[in-house]
Amino acid sequence: MPFGKLRRLFITPFGGAVLVIAVIMLIRSLLNRNSYEIIISCAALLLLLLLFIIGVWKSKKTKSLEPAWKPPFPMTANFGEDAQMTQYTQITGLDTAVPLFFRLHFLIKGKFFPCGSNFSAESKSGFAAVSVETSIPRNDTASQLIFNFPVSGIFHGEGFCRLRDIFGFFSFPCGQAQQRTVNVRSAPCFGKKTHINAQSGAEDRRNKPASDIERYHMREYTPGDRFRDINWKNSDKFDTLITRISTDNQEKVSRIDVYFRNYTSAKTVIKVMKDSGGKRSTVVKQEYSLLQLWLLDRTKARLAYFLRSLMEQNPSFIFDVHTAGGSYEIEDQDDLDAFLEELAGFSFFPPQHEMEIQAGKGDIYVFSTAFDFLLPSFLLACNPRPVTLFIAQPSVNSDNNQRGTEILSINDFLSNGCIVPPDWFKRGKLKPLGVRAEKTEMFCAEVKL
């Protein structure tokens, strides 16, 4: 277990300090023959011993306890003072009696990767350490825990119980730990609604057969079939009603081409590691600043809003979403939910020239960030097809007060139990990417230390 050593600790730092002070006081009182100090130090040591014995006994009694924690689905990031939703993680399976002067606590600890799928749970960098905790009221078998993140990403961690005395001296492990991996989607982004005429997409006909394939097939009549489709000649031959079914579905749909360009150049760090046997291994990792990840998060949010609003506008739209990691076809709400769950873990890819843009009449919708330095050449490759560009940029004003700018603060992490590594805030000067398309929507985002 990643947190096995932590869970085996019994005495807290405060309890250790009290123990050391009580022992020193006892030794000094014996040397000075001070009966008053002897009574106080002995009483303190006796209390510590009693709490320790009760805690160890109850910890062994609850060894088989299996507390479960279930975060909300979908798990959505929640940042800033204007965040309007509080997400609770449900905790169950706490059916155990708690001794007097003790409380059962439930903790969730792990690693949060805003870098998403580019990192694994065993990674030693690129993550924020997460620790959240709640106290369970006596005699309660279920509880809730506020568990949020300010940006999208992937969380790897475990939930477990601790038995703690009300004085804060001891903390004993209870029951079994339950590990989970949680995809955290971007906080909602509400931009301008995009209205698309069905004719602006690439028109398609589903199930259209080739010219050398028979246009119809026959089957037995079933209730609900149209009477005009009954083939009376064949029905007379087989002495049963035969229905003629067209294999050429004339339903027209509009395919919408969407490009999510999660590309950026990142600092490459190469480390030479040695294992216990003296073997050398080379580890290559990409380092991203928090500003890069924040701009990518806002681009994810804008894409999610774009897809949802258009699907509500016209359910017959089919979206072909092209990303650095692959392409996705979104036809219905199930496809959209599956894609948004994967989108939560998307991170940056090194810059690369994509395949040729398919020729067609339909509009192209591009989502990108100011770190996409190959975006101008991509827009040229889209010609002559019309392009609508959605791009996340850093704010122009250095005071971060530009109107409409979404600001991510370090306090958004600390208030959610995330410890941010200092290297995330290292970044050079970045100017907004000067690029335009037929239609361009810019949205600004900044990181505040």
Residue 370: phi and psi, rounded to 5, are -70, -10
Q: How far is CA 210 from CA 207, 247, 248, 359, in A?
A: 10, 10, 9, 21
Q: Going along 190-344, which residue ranges are E strands? A: 202-205, 216-220, 242-246, 252-260, 267-274, 280-287, 318-323, 326-330
Of 346, 344, 345, 314, nearest to 330 by C-alpha is 314
Q: Could you tell me the two tokens for 262? A: 């999660």
Q: How far is it, in rounded angstroms, from Cα 434 to Cα 442?
A: 11
Q: How far is it, in rounded angstroms, from Cα 345 to Cα 185?
A: 8
Helix (H, G, I), strand (E, B) or coil at 295: helix
Q: How far is it, in rounded angstroms, from Cα 125 to Cα 224?
A: 61
For residues 298 and 275, the answer to whether their CB atoms sit within 8 Å is no
* Max CA distance (Å), the chain: 119
User: For residues 239-259, b (16+ Cβ closer than 10 Å) or e, as one string?
Assistant: eebbbbeeeeeeeebbebbbb
Q: H or E element: which one contains 107?
A: strand 102-113
The number of residues making up the chain comes to: 449
For residues 134 and 105, the answer to whether their CB atoms sit within 8 Å is yes
- Beta strands 318-323; 252-260: pairing state: parallel
For residues 71 and 132, the answer to whether their CB atoms sit within 8 Å is no
* Per-residue pLDDT, 171: 92
ω into 384 cis (within 30 of 0): yes
For residues 302 and 189, the answer to whether their CB atoms sit within 8 Å is yes
Q: How far is it, in rounded angstroms, from Cα 409 to Cα 87?
A: 20
Q: How far is it, in rounded angstroms, from Cα 206 to Cα 198?
A: 15
Q: How far is it, in rounded angstroms, from Cα 65 to Cα 133?
A: 18
**In Å, how far from its chain's centre is CA 75?**
7
- Give the DSSP letter string of 156-198: EEEEEEEEEETTSSBEEEEEEEEEEEEEEEPPP---PPP---G
Q: Could you tell me the two tokens for 121? A: 């749970």
Would the pTM count as exceeding 0.85? no
ω into 74 cis (within 30 of 0): yes
For residues 302 and 391, the answer to whether their CB atoms sit within 8 Å is no
For residues 192 and 221, the answer to whether their CB atoms sit within 8 Å is no
Of 247, 348, 367, 362, nearest to 302 by C-alpha is 367
Q: Going along 261-379, which residue ranges are E strands? A: 267-274, 280-287, 318-323, 326-330, 364-369
Q: Can you give the pLDDT of all 449 residues of the chain as single tens digits?
A: 444 444 456 889 999 999 999 999 999 999 988 889 899 999 999 999 999 999 999 989 988 888 999 998 888 888 554 445 667 889 998 888 889 899 999 999 999 988 776 555 445 557 888 999 999 988 888 888 888 888 899 999 999 999 999 999 999 998 889 999 999 999 888 777 777 765 555 444 444 444 444 445 677 776 656 666 777 767 766 667 777 765 544 445 678 899 999 888 765 444 545 555 566 554 445 667 888 888 999 999 999 999 999 888 888 888 999 988 888 999 888 899 999 999 998 888 887 766 567 666 678 999 999 888 888 888 888 888 888 999 998 876 654 445 578 888 888 888 888 887 777 766 556 677 777 878 888 888 888 77
Q: Could you tell me the two tokens for 10? A: 């019994």
Helix (H, G, I), strand (E, B) or coil at 231: coil
Q: How far is it, in rounded angstroms, from Cα 431 to Cα 291?
A: 12
CB neighbourhood size of 28 (10 A): 13
Q: How far is CA 307 from CA 77, 310, 339, in A?
A: 18, 5, 10
Q: How far is it, in rounded angstroms, from Cα 114 to Cα 127?
A: 7
Those residues with Cβ within 8 angstroms of residue 228's Cβ, 6 or more apart along the chain or in another chain = none
> What is the DSSP-derived secondary structure letter of residue 432?
P
> What is the DSSP-derived secondary structure letter of residue 11?
B
**In Å, how far from its chain's centre is CA 271?**
28
Those residues with Cβ within 8 angstroms of residue 398's Cβ, 6 or more apart along the chain or in another chain = none
> What is the DSSP-derived secondary structure letter of residue 230?
B
